[in-house]
Amino acid sequence: MQEVRAYVKVFQKTIREKSTADGVVSVQTVQKPPVGWAILAMVGPSFVWCAEYIGSGEVILATRTGAILGTGVLWAIVFAIFLKYWIGMSGARYTVITGEGMIDMLHRMPGPRNWAVWVVLMAQFISATLAIGSLAVAAGVFVSSLLPIKPVLGGWLVTIFAVTAVWSGRYTILKMVMSFLVVIILSGVLYVAGTVFPGILVVLQGLVPQIPAVPAWALETTEVSANAWREILPLLGWAAGGFASQVWYGYWVMGAGYGAAWQRPQGAPADEKFLASMSKETARKLHGWCRIVYTDATLALIIGVLVTACFAIAGAGVLGPRQMAPQGPQVATQLSTLFSAQWGTLGGYLFLIAGTAALISTQVGQVAGWPRLLADAFRICIPGWKSIPWKMQFRLFLIYFFIANMTIVYTFGMKPVVMVKTAAVLDGLLLTPLQALWLIVGLYVVLPKMLSPQARQILQPHWIFSVGLTLAFIVFAYFCIFQIPGFF
């Protein structure tokens, strides 16, 4: 316990920013990684990652899909989260070793200058606007079900809260908010799923890839299609978050000061001289930090699969038998049946509170993450942008999203399900296969060229990373090529 307290004390210190004249941060030292039980003291980015993606994808999409298609869609949840686990963990591993984020890695891709970053910038600017707006719309509906206000006002209040929570850009504040909200949503959904648990055999059958038939009762509603993929694709897109969530996990690791990210400010490229002259001792320290990332990311995997599967099971066990497919402005009260069926009116309010917490936590995470991603992309692609202080860049994007959210909530405040499903497909699937492919190149081509010979030997990634990323590329490429065209 004394060792744990020592590491907590060290990493509670303020991360100092040290820059050289050319804007590249000089890495003086790499902290010794914790070992044994002290590793648990460093776990934290995973909670931010989970709290960011445990939201509309689980509260609305997983529950609705479970209600319509039953537990036969559990395979989609496990597949999506497991494959994105390799993407997020691989990106975080790159950050631990280099000290820079995934967007800077894309800047180093072979081919025309900055081509990969431009692809991300154009696609993610649109996806960011739509995704953040859709979450505000959904959260507004939940807030209005708890308070005597209209959904539009509820969405505006959520937007104001999210922007205020991340305005300072400090990781510690964000971590506390996220962790608290994750605990709330975990407590409620685990109990409900447990009460309607269909049995181990049924769950195992649901892990076998299949496309369940859409029941006749669901087809009678206005927002349910006979094509089951129109329900499954959004779930695949936002289970464990989309493209941006995997980028953000690197930011949360950076904010926690793991490995080469220690004492480095946001928005700084790697210190190439440091990497090229890295000693064996430093490389071994970074290898130890990589193990911390593996532990942290695996915790996020376990939480994500458990919570998302529980929402789907609860939807199948409570809403399915009642022939309810949550949709439209009544989505919050329809979903609250999950708890009210067990605990009456009080249970319904408990679900609304937990669901609101999950949606707000996702909104906070996205409002905190997308400005970082876009600021990095702008810095690389647009000359002169990096002359603006990073905190100002961050806040300029916050202001943009604040205005965009207010507009989207006012315009689409009564269509939460349609907005969330569309945003999930655009953000969660379109660039994900490319992201997996880019990480293969980043870990096995780009990174080795940056490291000294002795460091390269110690820090070469295990072959299992290539397997996980290749599988992610193939699976998500299939969805993009063969299934997304039929969604729109």
User: What is the pLDDT confidence band of residue 312, given thresholds at 50, 70 and 90?
Assistant: very high
The alpha carbon of residue 360 and the mean position of all alpha carbons in its chain are separated, in whole angstroms, by: 14
pLDDT class of 1 with cuts at 50, 70, 90: very low
Query: What number of other Cβ atoms are within 10 A of residue 161's Cβ?
Result: 17
Which residues contact residue 129 at a Cβ distance below 8 angstroms, ignoring those fewer than 6 apart?
401, 404, 408
Dig out the tokens for 129 from the structure.
Answer: 């606007």
Band (pLDDT 50/70/90 cuts) for residue 6 is very low
**Cα dist. 135→143, 157, 260 in Å?**
12, 12, 34
What does the DSSP 8-state code read for residue 49?
Answer: H
- Can you give the pLDDT at residue 280? 95
Higher pLDDT, 350 or 119: 119
pLDDT in tens, 127-178: 999 999 999 999 999 999 999 999 999 999 999 988 988 886 554 565 566 5
Residue type, 245: S
Cα gap 282→449, rounded to integer Å: 17
- When mean pLDDT is compared across 17-21, 257-261, 298-302, 400-404, the lowest value belongs to 17-21
Write the pLDDT tens digit of every residue in 69-125. Answer: 999 999 999 999 999 999 999 999 999 999 999 999 999 999 999 999 999 999 999
Calpha distance 232→9 (Å, rounded):
45
Question: What global pTM score does this model have?
Answer: 0.89
pLDDT at 62 over 70: yes
Q: Which domains does the chain have, with CATH numbers?
A: 45-486 (1.20.1740)
Residue 3 has pLDDT above 60, yes or no: no
With a pLDDT cut of 90, the percent of the chain lying above it is 64
CA end-to-end distance (rounded Å), the chain: 55
Asked if 240 and 80 touch (Cβ cutoff 8 Å), the reply is: yes
Residue 334: per-residue pLDDT:
92
Rounded Cα–Cα distance for residues 287 and 454 (Å): 13
Q: What is the structure's pLDDT at 170?
A: 59
Which residues have CB under 8 Å from 145's CB, separation 6+? 332, 333, 336, 352
Residue 4 above 70 pLDDT?
Answer: no
Among residues 244, 223, 243, 166, which one has the least CA distance to residue 419?
223
Q: Packing angle between helix 463-478 and helix 74-98, nearest 10 degrees?
A: 130
Other beta carbons within 10 Å of 71: 24
State the Cα–Cα distance between residues 421 and 61, nearest whole angstrom: 7
pLDDT at residue 184, as a whole number: 67
How far apart are the C-alpha atoms of 60 and 349, rounded to whole Å?
Answer: 16
Identify the pLDDT of residue 8.
Answer: 37
Please state, in angstroms and rounded to a whole number, the distance separating the CA atoms of residues 265 and 167. 16
Statement: residue 244 has pLDDT above 90: yes
Q: Model confidence at 457, in pLDDT bands (50, 70, 90)?
A: very high
Per-residue model confidence as pLDDT tens digits over 176-218: 665 666 576 677 778 889 989 999 999 999 999 999 999 999 9
Angle formed by the axes of helices 280-314 and 74-98, nearest 10°: 160
Q: Are 68 and 218 in contact (CB under 8 A)?
A: yes
Burial 443-459 (b: 16+ CB within 10 A, else e): beebbeebbbeebbebb
Mean pLDDT of 251-265: 86
Which runs of consecutive H residues, i.e. helices, occur in 167-279? Answer: 171-195, 200-206, 216-219, 229-238, 243-255, 272-276
Helix (H, G, I), strand (E, B) or coil at 100: coil
- What's the whole-number average pLDDT of the chain? 87
Neighbouring CB atoms inside 10 A of 261's CB total: 29
Looking at residue 177, its pLDDT comes to 62
